[in-house]
Chain A
Amino acid sequence: MDFEYAPDQHHVPPSPTASSFTTTRHYTLTTAKPPKMLAALSAYQPRQLLAQVLNFGLILSTAFMMWKSLSLVTNSPSPIVVVLSGSMEPAFQRGDLLFLWNRGTDTQVGEIVVYNIDGKPIPIVHRVLRRHVSRPPAKVSKTRNYPPLKLLTKGDANPQDDVLLYAPGQQYIDREKEVIGSVKAYVPFVGYVTILLSEHPMVKTVVLGIMGLFVILQRE
């Protein structure tokens, strides 16, 4: 017996005893079924669809704006960084998470700073080995809390200082222009996830894609 399944007309299920005596029923769906996820999307009203997309947007943008707020508070373009190399061992290992502070600091020898060299994509975390204080004109020094500094840095595990890492001809780094913060706190190993994500770009794409899809498809 063929049975066309129409859910609207089939409210009361047949009782177990009744169905056990009837022949097997074949349920044929009246329409071809699109893939499950697409069906879930097409069932939304336009407002619901927009709401789901915006939900995802709000999650992303809240994360981004919190990051930016942290940037403003610490005055550093990148207030949390992950150690990518072993040049500061044993102080920092690969994957350590560093918290930076870049506000009115009179950096001292022994402090660990993160700096960016023009033309190099990745910031470097190294210890200050030597500092040079220049004496600015009286007019300038009135407006600032600490004098302009030039720093020489070195990785704890490196055999020599960083002059070779600087731009050609550069002997020192500028505290204001090149340093994006000094390390105030660290959490070991937590940042290893981002190393995985950045060293395998596919992982990042896939994870982001899956997260986005889930937020759009799920309610609450």
Chain B
Amino acid sequence: MAVPTKICTYSLPDLKNTTDDAVATQYLATKSFRQSHTLTDVRLGLSTAACVVAATTFYLDYTQGFEPTKSFTFYACIVYFTLNALLTGWLYLFEGSTIYVGAHKTADVSLTLASSVVRHDPTYRLKIIQSQVVDGRKVLREREVECPFASWFDERGFFVRRPFETWMGSVVPWILENEDVPKELASGVVTASGRAVEDVMPGTEIGSGKAGRRKGAKKT
């Protein structure tokens, strides 16, 4: 994003959409995550198919008239409204408020993030489902976090990256294992290896220790 987008800080959809985009493009993309677009692609596929059916119907109706295309139009209507029902079902049952699905590039960890806002309350609510294999068992960790939008939008309506990344880093801490540690680290979080970090001092490296060494090497 060459030009930072400016939004109206009083508009809840603006705040939410910008933050949703930032989760995927500005934060997780810069970490070792690969986004999976399957959910979006199915939705786009269904809507494209519906539009193509309607466009074909329109073309045939326009060129040949009502009577000759009657039976085609009949089936096209059925197909179109079926596709529309599938699309609605997909949105309600599967996609929902999901804003990100992705997997770690090296570790066997995948993330599903869903965001929501409550009407007239400028707080970002993020639901994080972290799925990974620990000791041969599949472990699902789910946590719900929230933070006021004002933490990462300045008063002019510009999205500010750093506080947002600090917050994301503290709520999805196991990303940190191979990344830089944020300054403010919340307690009570769990790392990818399953270790609780309550007892770790703020600012202390967590994880395998490799990151710490690498970080030190970078500095010198």
Contacts and interface: CB of A to CB of B under 8 A. Distances in A.
B188 interface: no
Interface residues of B, number: 45
B43 interface: yes
Nearest to B69: A68
B66 A77 contact: yes
A43 B158 CA distance: 14
Contacts of B37: 47
Contacts of B73: 68, 71-72
A55 B44 CA distance: 10
B70 A7 contact: no
Contacts of A45: 21, 25
B178 interface: no
A219 B19 CA distance: 14
Given A8-B162, A68-B57, A61 B51 contact: yes
Given A71-B66, A72-B70, A34 B154 contact: no
A7 B13 contact: no
Given A13-B155, A61-B50, A39 B44 contact: no
B61 A68 contact: yes
Query: Could you tell me the dominant secondary structure of chain A's interface residues?
Result: helix
A126 to B, nearest CB: 21
B54 A65 contact: yes
Given A61-B54, A62-B84, A72-B70, A10 B160 contact: yes
Contacts of B189: none
Contacts, number: 93
Interface string B1-35: 11111000000010001000100010000000000
B58 A64 contact: yes
Contacts of B100: none
A57 interface: yes
Contacts of A62: 54, 84
Nearest to A69: B77
A102 to B, nearest CB: 10
A34 B51 CA distance: 31
Contact of B13 (A31, A61, A71, A220): A220
Interface string A1-14: 00000011011010
A64 B57 contact: yes
Nearest to B1: A43
Contacts of A61: 50-51, 53-55, 80
Contact of A54 (B47, B74, B84, B156): B47
A142 interface: no
Contacts of A47: 37, 40-41, 44
A68 B81 CA distance: 12
B14 to A, nearest CB: 8
Given A10-B160, A219-B17, A31 B3 contact: yes
B54 A64 contact: yes
10 contacts: A7-B156, A7-B158, A8-B160, A43-B3, A47-B37, A54-B44, A58-B51, A64-B58, A68-B73, A219-B17
Interface of B: 1-5, 13, 17, 21, 25, 37, 40-41, 43-44, 47-48, 50-51, 53-55, 57-58, 61, 65-67, 70, 73-74, 76-77, 80-81, 84, 152, 154-156, 158-163
